[in-house]
Structure 1
Amino acid sequence: MSRPDGDWIRGLSIRQPYVACILAGAKTIENRSSRWRPGWVLLHASKTIDQPALRTPLVGRTIRGRELTTGAVLGIARITDCHQDPDEAPPCSPWAHKGAWHLVLADVQELPLPVPARGQVVPWRPTPELLNCVLQQLPRLRP
């Protein structure tokens, strides 16, 4: 199979421990300040760890025993929806923040090995080299 170019995927940089929570399968919502379009994203752990989040029960239960690697692509997921909860409605998930755009994540796959990479706050396009390193670890992925 020839490798697709990077037009079908973007990078999503997220602080730890939240990437670990997504990879564990517990966190299916990622909060953002702006709308994102559906599609595949690389799950990139930014270089910083949200230290106060480590003390919250929801996070603590989820990441127990998991390594918090930073500065690397750790997995891949598909954004299936992006929405905001109506003002009067309860949050769509315990992970959802009021007023944020909620990226609904599905088809999450963790990489066997982290791929070092630099991310950005906005959706970013992976280099062909980075994408090739990721796809080598996910031979069954068919975008």
Structure 2
Amino acid sequence: MTTDLDRGDWIRGITIRQPWATCILAGKRTENRPMNWPWRGWILIHAGKRMDRPALHDSLVATAIRGRHLHQGAVIGIARLTDCHPDLGPERCTSPWAQRDTHHLVLDDVHELPLPVPARGALPAWRPTQDLVDRVLQQLPDLQL
């Protein structure tokens, strides 16, 4: 019998430009997107090949990425997407990472991979191959799914 785990129905990939992908590994728990995401569950954090160079000058970003390598074109972590909500204003969305007039993806249980796994991503969310999932999970033997 084939299970959701075998088919990969339990996980998606999300491609995020650098330095934002590395910021998630460093504690950023709000990812900003232009639309609502109905998916909830585990996601691979894929650092895209494009760099948001102006973001490198943001003090919050600079502090988060200090001393870290900005890998590109690779899966660098895994997290659980637990919620997605529209911007509710600074009184309700207190994360310093939350941007105005976007939807906020709420990430929990973030795990950084010891070694990045080269991969191609896609937008907005994509289904990873079983081989890619296996290579990621091999690096996180204690991860509780």
The question of a shared fold, defined as TM-score above 0.5 by the shorter chain, is answered with yes
Offset, 1:90: 5.8
2:107 alignment counterpart: 105
**Counterpart-to-counterpart distance in 1, 2:90 and 2:48:** 33
Judge which range, 85-94 or 9-18, deviates more.
85-94
**1:21–1:63: 8 Å Cα contact kept in structure 2?**
yes
1:24 alignment counterpart: 26
**Counterpart-to-counterpart distance in 1, 2:49 and 2:114:** 19
Cα RMSD of the aligned pairs, angstroms, is: 1.8
Which of 53, 62, 65 is equivalent to 1:63? 65
Gaps of 5+ in 1: none
What percent identity do the matched residue pairs reach?
58
**Counterpart-to-counterpart distance in 2, 1:102 and 1:60:** 21
Offset, 1:132: 0.7
**Counterpart-to-counterpart distance in 1, 2:5 and 2:89:** 41
**Counterpart-to-counterpart distance in 2, 1:116 and 1:3:** 24
Gaps of 5+ in 2: none
**2:79–2:108: 8 Å Cα contact kept in structure 1?**
yes
2:48 alignment counterpart: 46
Offset, 1:122: 1.3
Q: How does 1:65-104 map to 2 (within 5 A)?
A: 65-86=67-88, 89=91, 91-104=93-106
**2:4–2:10: 8 Å Cα contact kept in structure 1?**
no
Offset, 1:94: 1.2
TM superposition score normalised by structure 1: 0.92
> CA 1:88–1:140 in structure 2 vs 1: closer, same or farther (change >3 Å)?
closer
Partner-residue secondary structure (3-state), 2:131: helix
Partner-residue secondary structure (3-state), 1:4: helix
1:35 alignment counterpart: 36
TM superposition score normalised by structure 2: 0.91
**Counterpart-to-counterpart distance in 1, 2:120 and 2:23:** 20
